[in-house]
Structure 1
Amino acid sequence: MHLRTAACAALLIAATATACSDSKPAVHHYGSAQKIADTLEAHGLTVSMLHKDTSSSYISDVGGTAYDFTVTDKTGQPAAGDSGINMFPNAKALTTWTGLSQSMGGVAVTGDTWAVSLPTGSKAARADSKRLAPTVAKALGGEVQD
């Protein structure tokens, strides 16, 4: 009887710990923008070559790096516009950028210290980015920010 009671108690503790734990999935870390692009391609998305973007002043001012590229899931059709991969030096810089992006109507997928910023230059581009963002998030293990 004592073993059964102990087993029930262990199950109750495990169930309580699971119910109380943060259900948010862990975000993946990527050490380079190229690794992000490669991962998107490995998940069936069409990705163009990366081009370093030196005009993203906030990102470079905080010690990060930005790259322009395109990404789409529509084979044979052009992307809705240019996207970006932003590599930040820390989570605080990413959090600040995310707030700025959201305040300007941006659509992005973020991780621990990286972001994929999707095009929003027109209503059609924004709609396509909102549709594509969950696919990008799933491929990269990130979170949609819009």
Structure 2
Amino acid sequence: MSVVPMEQLRLKKQITFERNLLRELTMEEVQKDVRDCFQPFFHSYYVYDTAIREEAIEQAMEAYLLGAEASQFLLCGVSEEEISERYEVELKTISLDFFDYLDYWQQATSHNGWFTVRGEKVCTDFFLKWWNIGLEKGERRRRLKLD
């Protein structure tokens, strides 16, 4: 009889859960949302296509999976407000890091000062949206005991 460490089992279960969640996510849905939110900030489609789009999709999936992880607390009876407060630091970090990334590319390609006024809010709203989608889908999967 062999002994399997609990951490290894937890990691395997988490990876399975995340894979199944990502299967529910369509790339077209994410790409459309990224295009709608961030393409207007860049006059050059080349910059948007090569530098912004892929990073935004990756970060949206990260927020989505973070929301799905948070869904475990909904089943324990914790309110959405308390969960939001618990994950506020992580969401703010994702949002501000991506805003800094966008700000770099915005300054490198043009000199529009309006980006700094609107850009941070757009990033925050974008990642909050994907976090909430992950929260809902994670809760549904957990309630239906799909994983």
Higher percent of residues as strand? 1
Which structure has greater helix proportion? 2
TM-score (norm 1): 0.26
